[in-house]
Amino acid sequence: MQLGDFVSVLRTRWRIVVGCVVLAVLAAVAVTVLSTPVYEASARVYLSAKNTSTDGSGQQGRVVLTNEDLDTYVSILDTPAVLDPLREELGLKSGTPIDVEATVPGNTSILNITARSADPQQAADVANEVGPQLGKVAGEFSTLLAASGQTVSSTPIQPAVAPSRPASPDPVRNIALGLLGGLVLGIGLALLRHASDTRVRSEADIKALSDAPMLAGLPLESTRSGEGLISLETDPHGRHAEAIRRLRTNLMFVDVTTGQHSFVVTSAMPGEGKTTTAANLGLAMADSGARTLLIDADLRNPSVAKTFGIEGGVGLTTTLLGDAEPRDVIQRWGDSDLYILPAGQIPPNPSELLGSRPMEELMHRLAVDFDFVLIDSPPVVPVIDAVIIERMSGGLLMVVGVDRTKKRDLASAIRQLETVGARVSGFARNFVQDKRGSQYRYGYHRYEEDQQPQSRSARRRASAGG
């Protein structure tokens, strides 16, 4: 994964990262608040052996303790031999926990003593009392000292004082660790979520499967309540309508390379909006002055007639069976240049019918009669119909439902097309979540969100009445 891909993943899944950071910081704050404060006090003492008898000058001699003796004292520090008399000296109850440790810096006779307690004064008292208590029991653990009549004395170098602030918990450290841990966890989960994501989310997901161009991104806000599915009729200057016009323009550039002026509109799986896209694209083509025909070749689940609200009982299958001429079943949409050929009755053998000789002859005939032909076909993965129709057209437009299409389904569709020598001419990403006030509203065509623009038919009626 390159740096750009990494940044793109974080930008897409920033909510996961932020959520993990917030939860980790809250957990660190909770641990800090609920933890019992622990105070730490330190003392330094000097230990030396002292003769109990006087020398010829009448003074008691001092002997430097060996490192072995000091190590012995450190090792017995947490044993009952030291802690029990220590509790008694400090007036603590029997069994009261005492947390104390000592170290010997270098080859010296100095002990650095550290005591911890929930009571700051108790921590200081324990640290100051450890040295004298070690001196009292030292003879029991050093036979050489006891035999020579020597005792161990403790001289304070730096006595402990009651600390004013607890050593733990450390709020700053805990929150910093929570922040760092949450950030690492969030990034890890974001990368894992990206790696395990099975749906198409962006252009990059499509480009990873095909090098065909991205012709348009159709916004999610494609309908208005109660006004049908055709955005060019219900909201001709809306974001979706402008995106359809962008798709029309880009598709015309692609058509220059084929010169056949016909495209199959399909998708990998059902529910990706191919029929609605084909209907809107047909209207946009007709608006540009091209005499456009929209054919419903989805003989398994025809939807074009329902989308436009026209009669669909007769149509493509009627013509293929020889029961009617194309001009008898093709319906003009209003006074526009869009003509619609519904599917007709659903046949028992749609694949065979679409791949038949009459279908091929009909397509050649319609390509002559119309400037542009759009064919709404079944999805590629479930059935082979789209592959059959693609051979009779100039190209194939693949509609991809963002956040709906699974990557494996899109990959399977592209692979099926490539297996038979077909190729996707371009992709139209559908259901793209677009921010309000995007480039799809501009200049004189900018409307307020609560304004209901007139439909094309309403504008025509108004024009005729004036």
Convert the pLDDT of each residue in 57-94 to its tens digit. Answer: 444 555 667 777 788 888 888 888 888 888 888 888 88
Convert the pLDDT of each residue in 243-266 to its tens digit. Answer: 999 999 999 999 988 788 999 999
pLDDT of res. 52: 60
pLDDT of res. 447: 36
Convert the pLDDT of each residue in 317-328 to its tens digit. Answer: 999 999 999 999
Of the ranges 32-36, 102-106, 337-341, which is most confident? Answer: 337-341
- Res. 443 pLDDT band, cuts 50 70 90: very low
pLDDT of res. 147: 63
pLDDT of res. 414: 95
Lowest mean pLDDT across 50-64, 124-138, 180-194, 391-405: 50-64
The pLDDT of residue 194 is above 50: yes
pLDDT of res. 463: 38
The pLDDT of residue 229 is above 70: no
pLDDT of res. 221: 63
The pLDDT of residue 131 is above 70: yes
The pLDDT of residue 270 is above 90: yes
35-60: average pLDDT: 75
Whole-angstrom distance, CA of residue 125 vs CA of residue 133: 12
- Res. 126 pLDDT band, cuts 50 70 90: very high
Lowest mean pLDDT across 14-28, 67-81, 247-261, 375-389: 67-81
pLDDT of res. 283: 94
Domains and CATH numbers, the chain: 3-35+169-196 (no CATH), 39-158 (3.30.70.1130), 203-458 (3.40.50.300)
Convert the pLDDT of each residue in 133-153 to its tens digit. Answer: 888 887 777 666 666 667 788
Of the ranges 83-92, 101-110, 350-359, which is most confident? Answer: 350-359
pLDDT of res. 54: 52
pLDDT of res. 405: 93
pLDDT of res. 145: 66
pLDDT of res. 266: 97
Burial class (CB in 10 A: 0-12, 13-18, 19+), 23: middle
Lowest mean pLDDT across 30-39, 56-65, 290-299: 56-65
The pLDDT of residue 199 is above 50: yes
- Res. 376 pLDDT band, cuts 50 70 90: very high
The pLDDT of residue 444 is above 60: no
The pLDDT of residue 214 is above 90: yes
pLDDT of res. 440: 41
